[in-house]
Structure 1
Amino acid sequence: MTHPIRALEDQDEPALLRDQFRQLLRYRALLAVGVVVGLIGGGYLALSGAETYTATGVVLVRSATADPFATGASADKGINIGSERQTAVSDTVGELAARALAKDADPVDAGDLLAGLQVTNPPNTLTLRFSYTGDTPEQARSRAEALADAYLEHRRQRTEDSIENMAQGYRAQLKPLEEKRDLLEEQVGASGADDVSSARANLIVSISELSRKISELRALDATPGYLNQKPVAPKEPTGAGLPMLLGLGGVVGLALGLLLSWVRLVFDPSVRSTRELVRSIGAPLLGTLPRERGAPDGLLAIGRSGSRLAEEYRAVAFRLAYDPAFAESRRLLVTAPRGDNAAAAGAAANLAAAFAEMGRDVLLVEADLRTPSLARELGSAAHEARPP
């Protein structure tokens, strides 16, 4: 018979998941151990960890511009905010901030100072958030402000150095032109030639252009940015409190307990469901024998009024009797004992009685030649199970 197997294999996925979850709940001790371990770990982290405080300052980054109030002027030209974020956590900024803090009686190494710094950039903005985590609220505030000021100072110096380098380049081009202009002026005064005057006029135009560029560079506003939000000393420590850590510990512990239960379930050789039984032996499931409480002693369940066990034996016999594979080619049915012989003897006797009730000719043979007891235990019950 194959239809019982198909019925088990065609279970829907939610039903299989529910079955597996119920099997995991059998190992309640492992689940409880996982939850307890998680709670202990969360409590330990909450009570043993030192309190830390975080202060945050917001810096608006801008580029140098000639006239910030002119129509269409923009202060974000040429700014790569990703590069600026990397600059904010560089060693140069850390050293500048460390020197400033040393003057305020807070000596700290640049590497240790940068270890507590976190710089982020909100999307679609030219702002940088300087967040510093310290041991005390005042330490977090002062170091966050020192790092933000050091970044602005470093950027201002970098901008002024760039302007000065460009101005020096223009002055280097201007000096030989001025010398050549003076020489042509002497020649014009001596000869008054038109070609000399034309060359002198061209030099004057070039000198005027270079002078204009130098003047524009000197007029640039080199302000690197603004500290829009100064860091404020936090009033409460940063991080999760005791309730949150206990909750997280309980969740992690429950996950650990489920993992341990799953491992225990995987390596458990016992059969836990009819589906696993059918899969392991490769045979159909004919029925499930219930356990009857308070049933009278005796081997035969057939003949008892209202017996669930008898009805299940009848159902098994009916399936066997009308199974084409068994009815046409198999006439011998063997029940082999595993451990106690009573279960196998009971199954054989009840199936034989059920076949007899159906009008089949049944021969019940006991193969235990050393201690035969089936005939004695059946006694007169075998005659009572015969059909009228």
Structure 2
Amino acid sequence: MELRDYIRGLRRHWLAILLMTLVGAGTGYGWTLLQTPVYTAYSSGYIASTQSSDVGISTIGDNLARGRVPSYLEIAGWRAVAQNAIDTLELQTTPEAIVNRVEVTNPANTVILRISATGSTPESARALAEAWIDAMITEIDDIEGDGSEGSAPVTVIPADIASLPSSPSFPNVQTAVIVGAILGFGFGVAFALIRTVSDRRIRTAEDVESKTGIAVVGTIPLVPGLTDEQRLVGLSEHHGGKGENFAVAEALRSLRTNLQFMDVDHPPRTIVVTSPLPGDGKSTIACNLALTLAAAGTAVVLVDGDMRRSMVAKTMGLPGGAGLSDVLAGRAELTDVLQRTPKSVNLIVLAAGSVPPNPSEVLGSERMRTLIAELARHATVIIDAPPLLPVTDGAVLTHQADGALVVTSVGKTTHDLLDKALDTLRKARGRALGVVLNKAPLRGVDASPYSYEYRREYVSNSKEAAEPVPAADRVTVPADLSDLAEADAGARRGRRGPTPT
């Protein structure tokens, strides 16, 4: 994976990172509410010798006081000092416990002792700081003097009376929230990176092409809120492409162009549209591709080769009834079951027909091969085939066609499923014309970096859509394949211009 893949993963999971950051900050704040507040009070003492008016003696006493600083720092941590403070304050605790609540320090190059004492209340902290200095003075008098107050030649003089702390020193709410947010952010980033590394779902065309070696010939965007009728872009030949399905129509035109230039000398005439698993939108893509090709003036026959779960007739708004299986079984003539659709004059639909007990054998029969070849002589044949992994029907049809378009869902189909589907085609000696990425987001992290900004002039105007054909008019129209050839030739002459006389 490259750096841009990790960045894309962080952008894709930005909501999870944000939520984990907020959870971390909230956890830090909640932790502070569960803690017992601790207050810290500070007091100071000055180490000095017995005052004397003689300058020389005062100088000697000052030097003596400086020499006593390290010793008094040690005395400040004695159990005897702690016991004196306990007796003074009448506390119910032990010297070992109260020593941990007091810290005595000496600022560099000074004879000052700084005492910091903690307590559960501001008053107890201040009282302990003041009592500790008094206890030190008492202990120093016992050691260096005769035991009476102020008898030691060098003593500690209270210099700064402890003030009442206004806020607790522990816990620090701001620090706890910041640390919690940082930890939450770190967990969020780790979660996003792990999900990115372990995510096997198809996201971009570059991933598909680099891992499979098969070209992505189309990326069909997902436009939420469209009905099944609006997802059929064949209506675009009646309007200027300003409707809600403009993005889909443009993507399908790009797919049509890629198919036309795929093999200039021998362009595919029989194209199977399949997918690894159900639910990838292959039937909708097949119908839309047929309508898009027909909109360009090409004669197209759309064949529903999914006999197990036929969707073409329903999607195109045509009656089911007899169809492909009946023709192959000899129960109906081809011209009797071909249906024209009001959505395009250049498109003819062959429904799936009744469900046979052995669809794979029927689709792999010599009659099916002959039928496809006959249709391909006069028109481009688009076959909606079953998914490749659950059944073998799609692979059988691909073997008889020029190739297959494998439809995958962005963010749903995994690379493993796609690899298995392509391997199924290879084993059946079928050709994969390319991969179509379906349901790709128009915007966001997973949007194609090569796609332009689609116009989204959503116009809910019924005048731009084709008028629905009444059910009474949707009749089966017998059609001769020679009519398809004549229509195809006429369309080609129309594109070349009038024949010179």
TM-score normalised by the chain length of structure 2: 0.44
Unaligned runs of 5+ in 2: 147-151, 317-339, 348-487, 495-501
Match of 1:314 in 2: 253
Shift of 1:311: 0.8
In the alignment, is residue 88 of structure 1 matched against residue 84 of structure 2? no
Shift of 1:274: 3.0
* 8 Å Cα contact 1:132/1:141 also seen in 2: yes
SS in structure 1 of the partner of residue 104 of structure 2: strand
2:41 is aligned, of 55, 65, 68, to 55
Match of 1:119 in 2: 104
SS in structure 2 of the partner of residue 338 of structure 1: coil
1:278 is aligned, of 207, 231, 247, to 207
Shift of 1:114: 0.9
Match of 2:13 in 1: 20
1:238 is aligned, of 168, 175, 184, to 168
Shift of 1:120: 3.8
**Letter aligned with residue 211 of structure 2:** G
Instruction: Give the structure with the larger helix fraction.
Output: 1
* 8 Å Cα contact 2:10/2:192 also seen in 1: no
Match of 1:191 in 2: none
Instruction: Give the structure with the larger strand fraction.
Output: 2
**Letter aligned with residue 231 of structure 1:** A
Distance 1:15 1:153, change over 3 A: farther
Task: Write out per-residue CA displacement over residues 209-229 of structure 1, whole angstroms, 9 at most, x where no aligned residue.
Answer: xxxxxxxxxxxx952554322
Q: Give, in whole Å, the separation in 1 of the partners of 2:138 and 2:103.
A: 18
Q: Give, in whole Å, the separation in 1 of the partners of 2:124 and 2:256.
A: 85
Match of 2:368 in 1: none
What aligned pairs does 1:249-288 form with structure 2 within 5 A after superposition? 252=180, 259=187, 263=191, 274-275=203-204, 278=207, 282=211, 286-288=218-220
Q: Give, in whole Å, the separation in 1 of the partners of 2:156 and 2:166.
A: 30
1:109 is aligned, of 94, 98, 102, to 94
Distance 1:327 1:123, change over 3 A: farther
Distance 1:87 1:298, change over 3 A: same
* 8 Å Cα contact 2:141/2:155 also seen in 1: yes
Distance 1:261 1:138, change over 3 A: closer
Shift of 1:289: 1.7
What aligned pairs does 1:239-388 form with structure 2 within 5 A after superposition? 239=169, 245=173, 252=180, 259=187, 263=191, 274-275=203-204, 278=207, 282=211, 286-291=218-223, 293-294=225-226, 297=229, 300-304=232-236, 305=239, 306=241, 307-319=246-258, 321-322=260-261, 334-336=273-275, 338-340=277-279, 343-354=281-292, 366-372=304-310, 374=312, 378=316, 379-380=340-341, 381=343, 383-384=345-346
Match of 1:145 in 2: 130
In the alignment, is residue 129 of structure 1 matched against residue 114 of structure 2? yes
Unaligned runs of 5+ in 1: 1-7, 162-220
Task: Write out per-residue CA displacement over residues 286-310 of structure 1, whole angstroms, 9 at most, x where no aligned residue.
Answer: 4242326455627741342323211
Q: Give, in whole Å, the separation in 1 of the partners of 2:136 and 2:189.
A: 54
Shift of 1:131: 1.4
Shift of 1:344: 0.4
Task: Write out per-residue CA displacement over residues 14-45 of structure 1, whole angstroms, 9 at most, x where no aligned residue.
Answer: 776444314545xx6x8887777666554454
* 8 Å Cα contact 2:252/2:288 also seen in 1: yes
SS in structure 2 of the partner of residue 55 of structure 1: strand
Q: Give, in whole Å, the separation in 2 of the partners of 1:222 and 1:330.
A: 111
Shift of 1:110: 1.4
Distance 1:127 1:328, change over 3 A: farther
Distance 1:300 1:43, change over 3 A: same
Moved more, 248-257 or 306-315: 248-257
Distance 1:339 1:106, change over 3 A: closer
**Letter aligned with residue 227 of structure 1:** P
Distance 1:357 1:68, change over 3 A: farther
* 8 Å Cα contact 1:34/1:256 also seen in 2: yes
Q: Give, in whole Å, the separation in 2 of the partners of 1:128 and 1:140.
A: 17
Distance 1:36 1:263, change over 3 A: same
Task: Write out per-residue CA displacement over residues 253-308 of structure 1, whole angstroms, 9 at most, x where no aligned residue.
Answer: 89659947975995698888835993799366642423264556277413423232
Shift of 1:318: 3.3
Identity %: 21
Q: Give, in whole Å, the separation in 2 of the partners of 1:308 and 1:315.
A: 11
* 8 Å Cα contact 1:336/1:344 also seen in 2: yes
**Letter aligned with residue 88 of structure 1:** A
Q: Give, in whole Å, the separation in 2 of the partners of 1:247 and 1:140.
A: 22
Task: Write out per-residue CA displacement over residues 313-359 of structure 1, whole angstroms, 9 at most, x where no aligned residue.
Answer: 11234345556xx7799956643263247x20221233355456678
TM-score normalised by the chain length of structure 1: 0.54
* 8 Å Cα contact 2:40/2:165 also seen in 1: no
- Which has more radius of gyration? 1
Distance 1:359 1:282, change over 3 A: farther
Q: Give, in whole Å, the separation in 1 of the partners of 2:92 and 2:226.
A: 85
Aligned length: 304
Q: Give, in whole Å, the separation in 2 of the partners of 1:116 and 1:330.
A: 88
* 8 Å Cα contact 2:256/2:292 also seen in 1: yes
How well do the aligned residues superpose, as a CA RMSD in angstroms? Answer: 5.5
Distance 1:226 1:346, change over 3 A: same
Shift of 1:122: 4.4
Match of 2:389 in 1: none
